[in-house]
Structure 1
Amino acid sequence: MSTTESTPVAAPAPKRRLRDRIPVVHQLRQSVGLQRGMLITGLVVTAIFILTAIFAPLLAPYGFAQLRDADGPFGSQQPPSAEHPFGTTVGGYDVLSRTIWGAQTAILVIIIAVILSIFAGVLLGLLSGYFGGWLDRLLVVVCDAIYAFPSLLLAIVMAIAISGGQSNLWGGVLAAALSITVVFIPQYFRVIRAETVRIKAEAFVESAKVLGASNSRIMFRHVLRNATRTLPLIFTLNSSEAILTLAGLGFLGFGIEPTAAAEWGYDLNKALSDVTSGIWWTALYPGLAIVLVVLGITLVGESLNDLADPRLRGRRRVAQSAGVVAETSVVPGGTLTAGPGGLAGLEDEATFDEHGIEVKP
């Protein structure tokens, strides 16, 4: 009886769709269980915060510094009502409007502070880690000194030095953003420098040097793209820290004036005396906004951090794990498949009938 031989064919590698290449979407599809719930919750809260900041002029019933409408002044410390759902502050501002407008101020500070600190920290870390020498020692000492300094105290000093008594919107936002930038630069510097020191010793960097590539080409084309993989994680965690630093500056009186922009920390500072008098609405909503936004961004950052570390990832379902193991065979030519006789049938080249019984030639 003749035997039929079949050549195993390797299954083609599945192509990644465009949506799977988006970082957050890829991690969302990768997460399971509680980890997925944390990531979805953080994304929803963060999306609400961003949309509120973008559409603040449409969502807020009044301006952030508005004290009256067609019916007259709002009144000071008015309880929640139909006209003012969150009540009014001691200065006569609408709490709901200032809470919504505060999201816009917070996101402006986050964008300016984090982007500036990323550019400065990444560039300094890349130069320091690649060239080394006296430049590396000097930058490490300076950044370690800044990093060891209390961040809020450093932000206060920088805010006083930068603002120069300015109380307008962009003067206050830039003062807060630049003060936070100085605090964040050492974090990006240390991460990028450590990755650059590791990557520049790899074989592909040595090959690029042998081929005559310039230092700038090696740094920005080969080293940089491999050293910035953890930046999205640091970006999310630093965004929440920027909100807390901005709120701390405003709470201590170094933030933005109420006539220039709405700021949650400033509103909390003015609501301290209200809490002892039983007026709870002036402090509840700005404080709740800070807590929810920081919680949402932190959940996104911690979830991305867990998914980036294989040791911290949640286990896959048993069925999915079994499928992955079956598809990752090391047998040349594709997945190893055995006939009814098992591996012995493959080794002995025996033939079997439809019931799995060996047929002697």
Structure 2
Amino acid sequence: MTAQQAKRVQRLQRKADADTAADGNVIPMWRRHLKEVLHSPSCVISIAVIVIMLLFSFVGPFFSPYQQNGLDIINAKQAPTVAHLLGTDEYGRDILTRLMYAGRISLTVGLASMALSLIIGTVIGLVCGYYGGWVDATIMRLADLLMSIPGLPLLIIIAAMLSSFKVPPESRLYIVMLMLSLIGWPGLARMVRSEVLSLREQLYMKAADALGLGTHSKMFHHLLPNVYPLLIVVATLSTASSILSESTLSFLGMGVMPPNASWGNMISAANNMIDFQKRWWLWIPPGTAILVTVIAINVLGNRLQDILDPKSERSAA
């Protein structure tokens, strides 16, 4: 036995020991994964950062003495003071307060578009992987067509059309969510499909066929639970991608429109070199919020992939 094989055997033995409780009972998989997450410093720190950003965005505004759109032209573009900890913008609005409300919109867009694309992609991937044939071929060609179109240019074109039709700012928020979910489902559907194609050849699926279980039972009670680890990882990473896409569109003036605040359109307040060089409080706080949130979500997603993927060498270590 080579040294590499011996190390692999030792890792598998440690994993087997960890999977068995002191009384000899097998520890449920979800509990093992939760234990690994809680013992991973990167996971704990990322979760803490995400929770802090959620509390900051959804609870923080209740403790702010300022309104999101409270105008005070006299104090426009004021540097940070005790009264305004992050200064004011060109209309005298408190940036800290607007940063909280902007976080509500940016996080809501990211989570809602992720959830919608997750539902669409999972259902389509299950149907294609289970049935195959002309159903699989037709839907996957449509997915290939959508994936061949660059996502950001497509979003910009659609957002420009919304501007030309003068869509109200309140409605644009929901349309942005829909746009992000429509360009996000093809990749997810392909991953779910490939996983289902592999799973449907497993022995337990052959047993389900022999028992005469219905299609619904086989798809949603046998195949779908085994795709959950993949869905958790993809959902985490797609949330970060959606936040970045929304911020980019809003920065370009084609996403969430004022007076509604998002982290992207707050950065666009520094629209000249003087503001960019001398009024850092206009763009650094929203930029930092985007950076910290996206990094935390991506780190969590990458670590969850290591933990939940049974083929991962790092998950076996």
Does TM, normalized by the shorter one, top 0.5? Answer: yes
Q: Deviations over 1:311-344 (max 9, x none)?
A: 02384xxxxxxxxxxxxxxxxxxxxxxxxxxxxx
Give the drift of 1:109: 0.8
Q: Is the 8 A contact 2:270 2:276 kept in 1?
A: no
Give the drift of 1:188: 1.5
1:22–1:269 Cα change, 3 Å? farther
Count of matched residue pairs: 293
Q: How does 1:215-254 map to 2 (within 5 A)?
A: 215-254=215-254
Q: Deviations over 1:152-172 (max 9, x none)?
A: 122223445568533343x13
Q: Deviations over 1:269-300 (max 9, x none)?
A: 12131434522110111111110111111111
Partner of 1:27: 36
Partner of 1:94: 94
Partner of 1:145: 145
1:306–1:211 Cα change, 3 Å? closer
The answer on 1:13 being equivalent to 2:24 is yes
Partner of 2:115: 115
Q: Is the 8 A contact 1:90 1:271 kept in 2?
A: no
Q: How does 1:231-310 map to 2 (within 5 A)?
A: 231-259=231-259, 261-273=260-272, 274-276=274-276, 278-309=278-309, 310=312
1:46 partner amino acid = I
Give the drift of 1:236: 1.0
Partner of 1:326: none
Q: Secondary structure at the match of 2:232?
A: helix
Give the drift of 1:265: 0.7
Q: Which runs of 4+ in 1 moved over 4 A?
A: 14-17, 160-164
1:211–1:308 Cα change, 3 Å? closer
Q: Is the 8 A contact 1:159 1:179 kept in 2?
A: no
Q: Secondary structure at the match of 1:313?
A: helix
1:201–1:153 Cα change, 3 Å? same
Q: Which has the higher helix share?
A: 2
TM-score, normalised to structure 1, is: 0.75
1:65–1:143 Cα change, 3 Å? same
1:158–1:225 Cα change, 3 Å? farther
1:223 partner amino acid = L
Partner of 2:5: none
Point out where structure 1 has 5 or more consecutive residues left out of the alignment: 1-9, 316-361
1:150–1:239 Cα change, 3 Å? same
Q: Distance in 1 between matches of 2:246 and 2:22?
A: 54
1:82–1:37 Cα change, 3 Å? same
Give the drift of 1:178: 0.8
Give the drift of 1:193: 0.3
1:278–1:23 Cα change, 3 Å? farther
Q: Deviations over 1:236-257 (max 9, x none)?
A: 1111111100100101111222
Q: Is the 8 A contact 1:264 1:290 kept in 2?
A: yes
Q: Is the 8 A contact 2:250 2:264 kept in 1?
A: yes
Point out where structure 2 has 5 or more consecutive residues left out of the alignment: 1-20
Q: Secondary structure at the match of 1:253?
A: coil
Q: Secondary structure at the match of 1:229?
A: helix
Give the drift of 1:191: 1.2
Partner of 1:65: 69
1:219–1:277 Cα change, 3 Å? closer
Partner of 1:322: none
1:249–1:225 Cα change, 3 Å? same
Give the drift of 1:54: 2.2
Give the drift of 1:46: 0.7
Q: CA RMSD in A?
A: 2.4
Partner of 1:313: 315
Q: Distance in 2 between matches of 1:276 and 1:113?
A: 31
2:23 partner amino acid = P
Q: Is the 8 A contact 2:33 2:307 kept in 1?
A: no
1:67 partner amino acid = L
1:224–1:162 Cα change, 3 Å? farther
